[in-house]
Chains A and B, each alone.
Chain A
Amino acid sequence: EAQVTQNPRYLITVTGKKLTVTCSQNMNHEYMSWYRQDPGLGLRQIYYSMNVEVTDKGDVPEGYKVSRKEKRNFPLILESPSPNQTSLYFCASSPRLAESNEQFFGPGTRLTVL
């Protein structure tokens, strides 16, 4: 089944404790992206990756890191989480932009930082 998976789905952590949210897609998509969803703010793009080893900042990259060492995986790293990073996070993937840019979204990760 074609899908985007995220782990964990739910996470409660404390300020300053490094964490990684994994994202994996099995559709051989070149493009992957991370979003956060907050009430009243919609979805905001954190980082995106056009292909392996190619990443760039979205609109709200502060406090986050990403890497794209393999085509299928795009982990989101919070080196020192803070309470303002409490949010619902979505990973998405898409085929090459020239072909189609509909995004396929993962199920979401609800993160709470105390």
Chain B
Amino acid sequence: AQKVTQAQTEISVVEKEDVTLDCVYETRDTTYYLFWYKQPPSGELVFLIRRNSFDEQNEISGRYSWNFQKSTSSFNFTITASQVVDSAVYFCALNSGTYKYIFGTGTRLKVLA
């Protein structure tokens, strides 16, 4: 069975702090894709990153970075020097090359000024 676990329901940080959002996944497939999406207070879902199972390189995009570790089945997301605009719900998702997508329950991030 496939599963995505985001154990952190809600995180609060003060602006400029670094914060890491955890994502642990389960799948028996060797080919799969992992995603992060952002849902700001306005409600839309915004794609942040896709990573396939054969590419374990970490990725950095501005203040955002992602750490993919197959050994621990984790795909964690770090925001460096957080800002109030980062306040949102963040979803991790798994697709194993089939047509089904499995989302985690989301982590609500509150960045306080």
Q: A residues touching B (Cβ–Cβ < 8 Å)?
A: 31, 33, 35, 40-45, 48, 50, 56, 58-59, 88, 90, 92, 97, 100-105, 107-108
Among A40, A43, A58, the residue within 8 A (CB) of B91 is: A43
Q: Which of B16-58 contact A (CB under 8 A)?
A: 33, 35, 37, 43-45, 47, 50
Name 20 interchain pairs, CB-CB below 8 A, sorted by A. Answer: A35-B103, A40-B9, A40-B105, A42-B91, A42-B103, A42-B105, A43-B103, A45-B102, A48-B99, A59-B100, A59-B102, A97-B99, A101-B33, A101-B95, A102-B35, A102-B47, A103-B47, A103-B101, A105-B37, A108-B44
Complex: chain B residue closest to A54, CB-CB: B99
Contact assessment for B100 and A58 in the assembled complex, using a CB-CB cutoff below 8 Å: yes
Q: B residues touching A (Cβ–Cβ < 8 Å)?
A: 6, 9, 33, 35, 37, 43-45, 47, 50, 91, 93, 95, 97, 99-106
Q: Which 4 A-B pairs have the closest CB atoms?
A: A42-B105, A105-B45, A43-B103, A42-B103
Cα A92 to Cα B91 in complex, Å, equals: 15
Nearest CB in chain A: distance from B107 CB, A: 10
Please indicate the chain A residues that have their CB under 8 angstroms from the CB of B105 in the complex: 40-42
Contact assessment for A31 and B99 in the assembled complex, using a CB-CB cutoff below 8 Å: yes
Please indicate the chain A residues that have their CB under 8 angstroms from the CB of B9 in the complex: 40
Please indicate the chain B residues that have their CB under 8 angstroms from the CB of A31 in the complex: 99
Contact assessment for B47 and A56 in the assembled complex, using a CB-CB cutoff below 8 Å: no
Complex: chain A residue closest to B42, CB-CB: A107
Among A50, A100, A104, the residue within 8 A (CB) of B99 is: A50
Contact assessment for B50 and A102 in the assembled complex, using a CB-CB cutoff below 8 Å: yes
